[in-house]
Chain A
Amino acid sequence: GQSLEQPSEVTAVEGAIVQINCTYQTSGFYGLSWYQQHDGGAPTFLSYNALDGLEETGRFSSFLSRSDSYGYLLLQELQMKDSASYFCAVKGSQGNLIFGKGTKLSVKP
């Protein structure tokens, strides 16, 4: 089977740093993606890691360790607009995305 685990909720204050972890169990691994989704909106692509290491895109960074079946999304200098749900997703062999249940991030003033 295939499964992804991520925390259901995380709360942080404006200006802080938050890390959202994702562990996965899949038959075959081809990459880990992260998506942001605001209430009522569409998922927005944030990052994709196919190889081990850290990928940085502005205030967001994503990390992957294939040997540990683990990745995380790091959000720095949190802003109120970062309040949203964040999903990790594993890419299957044919390119389909298998999503976790999502982490709801609440940023407080």
Chain B
Amino acid sequence: DAGVTQSPTHLIKTRGQQVTLRCSPKSGHDTVSWYQQALGQGPQFIFQYYEEEERQRGNFPDRFSGHQFPNYSSELNVNALLLGDSALYLCASSSRGKLGAQHFGDGTRLSIL
């Protein structure tokens, strides 16, 4: 049983560029959440998708956007990249009734030069 998978594992971009990160949830899960984790900090909630709609959003600018597909997979898009966007981006999936037990992927390490 595959867990949460994310791609790519590492990415290097320059300021002003755009990036798309991808996530496939654990089998049986229908809700996908995205988090940003800076070094030495806890993950920060970006947004959550359920039934292909953004259900809740954290304190992140509109440069961060996302999408969920009919097969529950999801994308995170970040436009106009800033140096401060360098972080580990984590995708977490869960079933709608068990949001307290979210399962995380290994993340995408994004570096902005």
Stretch at the interface among A37-45, A65-73, A74-82: A37-45
- Nearest chain B CB to A51's CB is how many angstroms away? 11
Q: Which residue of chain A has the shortest Cβ distance to B4 in the bound complex?
A: A42
How many residues on the A side are at the interface (Cβ–Cβ under 8 A)? 24
How many residues on the B side are at the interface (Cβ–Cβ under 8 A)? 26
Is A97 positioned at the interface, with any CB of B under 8 Å from its CB?
A: yes
- Contact between chains at A95 and B99 (CB < 8 Å): yes
Q: How far is the CA of A1 from the CA of B20 in the complex (A)?
A: 31
| Chain B interface (Cβ < 8 Å from any Cβ of A) | 31, 33, 35, 40-45, 48, 55-56, 58, 90, 92, 94, 96, 99-107
**Would you give 25 A-B contacts (Cβ < 8 Å), ordered by A?**
A33-B100, A41-B106, A42-B90, A42-B104, A42-B105, A42-B106, A43-B104, A44-B104, A45-B102, A45-B104, A48-B100, A87-B43, A91-B100, A92-B45, A94-B56, A95-B33, A95-B55, A95-B99, A96-B33, A97-B45, A97-B92, A98-B45, A99-B44, A100-B42, A101-B40
